[in-house]
Amino acid sequence: MELDATLAAMFAAHQREDPSASLGELAFRTLRETILRGHLQADQKLSENQLAAAMGVSRTPVRQAIHMLESEGLVTTQRRQITVTGFELEALEEVFLVRRALEGLATELAAINISGEELEELGEVVELMAFYLKRGNLAALQQTTREFHQRIYDASRNRMLITMLANLWDYIESAGGAIGGAERLTPDPLKGHRIILRALHDRDPLLARRLAEGHVMTAKDSMLRAVRNASHSPGRRTRLGSVPPREGKGSD
């Protein structure tokens, strides 16, 4: 079955990326990505045996994964039957609101703590983003865009923020089939990054925070618009699990 092959491939990929992760954690990451990318549709019925066989694990890791997915509202369970609920647009908006708050704080702290060397390297990342954008290399643009933000998070010197923001990135990227599908609708995808960089150079924490928060909201609006267009259901509650998976990745 196509679904079984998809689950097996995703599980193997996550295992290669993080060999030290538990089987339960790997199963959770696999199933969450499968749901958010649209391979598992809203209201689809699943069984522990089916999922365990597809991923090549026992039912215990699958149960652990289902509990985590249920806590995130992606599935429901009743009498051992698992039902995919998907990820509604309203939930994605909530995630972006959390990211706005955390991103603003991380960028404010970075403006205080970032070193001269880190600023220089951050500027080089922006130039790489411009290079890839000019050539239409969206996969490389996505990678360097995330690197830009990750370097700012690292410069905040706050480990909790770094971890939480990394998780939010993973969630939003998966939910939208990549954040960059939204960025392609933004007239100047580099403008926000350049002005944030300038605020960091100026060591202006409050301005850096305000710019970062605005940048996240611009990405949110563009991404939600793209998802609504893809769903062909404007003005309705839309489950991202029902939106066909997108190809390729862009930037935030």
Could you please report the per-residue DSSP string of 66-93? HHHHHHTTSEEEETTEEEE---BHHHHH
Domain spanning 2-84: which CATH class is it, in words?
Answer: mainly alpha
pLDDT higher at 41 or 51: 51
Cα gap 249→125, rounded to integer Å: 17
pLDDT higher at 191 or 72: 191
- Classify strands 45-46 and 75-78 as parallel, antiparallel or unpaired: unpaired
pLDDT band at 172 (very low <50, low <70, confident <90, very high): confident
How much is the pLDDT for 80?
A: 77
Cα gap 46→221, rounded to integer Å: 33
Residue 203 has phi, psi (to 5 degrees) of 55, 45
How much is the pLDDT for 175?
A: 65
CA 110 centroid distance within chain: 21
Element (H, E) at 45: strand 45-46
pLDDT band at 184 (very low <50, low <70, confident <90, very high): very low
Predicted confidence (pLDDT) at residue 128 exceeds the cutoff of 90: yes
Residue 75 has phi, psi (to 5 degrees) of -140, 165
pLDDT band at 156 (very low <50, low <70, confident <90, very high): very high
How much is the pLDDT for 2?
A: 86
How much is the pLDDT for 155?
A: 98
Mean pLDDT, range 7-26, rounded to an integer? 95
What separation in angstroms does the CA of 53 have from each of 24, 60, 82, 187, 214? 14, 12, 15, 46, 45
- Cα maximum dimension of the chain: 59
Predicted confidence (pLDDT) at residue 185 exceeds the cutoff of 90: no
Mean pLDDT, range 109-136, rounded to an integer? 96
Cα gap 237→228, rounded to integer Å: 9
pLDDT band at 230 (very low <50, low <70, confident <90, very high): low
Q: Could you give the percent of the chain with pLDDT greater than 70?
A: 83
- Say which DSSP state 185 is in: T
Predicted confidence (pLDDT) at residue 9 exceeds the cutoff of 60: yes
CATH classification code of 89-242: 1.20.120.530
Among 28-32, 67-71, 226-230, the range scoring the smallest mean pLDDT is: 226-230
Mean pLDDT, all residues of the chain: 85
As a three-state string, the secondary structure of 204-246 is CHHHHHHHHHHHHHHHHHHHHHHHHHHHCCCCCCCEHHHCCCC
pLDDT band at 83 (very low <50, low <70, confident <90, very high): very high
pLDDT higher at 78 or 159: 159
How much is the pLDDT for 177?
A: 55
Mean pLDDT, range 86-105, rounded to an integer? 88
- What sections of the chain are H helices per DSSP? 2-17, 23-36, 48-55, 59-71, 89-113, 116-134, 138-155, 159-175, 180-183, 191-201, 205-231
Parse the chain into domains and list their residue ranges: 2-84, 89-242
What separation in angstroms does the CA of 164 have from each of 127, 129, 159? 27, 24, 9
What Rg value do the Cα atoms of the chain yield, rounded? 19
CB 21 within 8 A of CB 163: no
CB 167 within 8 A of CB 68: no
Among 104-113, 132-141, 143-152, the range scoring the smallest mean pLDDT is: 132-141
CA 7 centroid distance within chain: 19
Q: Could you give the percent of the chain with pLDDT greater than 90?
A: 60
Mean pLDDT, range 163-180, rounded to an integer? 73
* CB neighbour class for 114 (10 Å; exposed up to 12, middle 13-18, buried from 19): buried
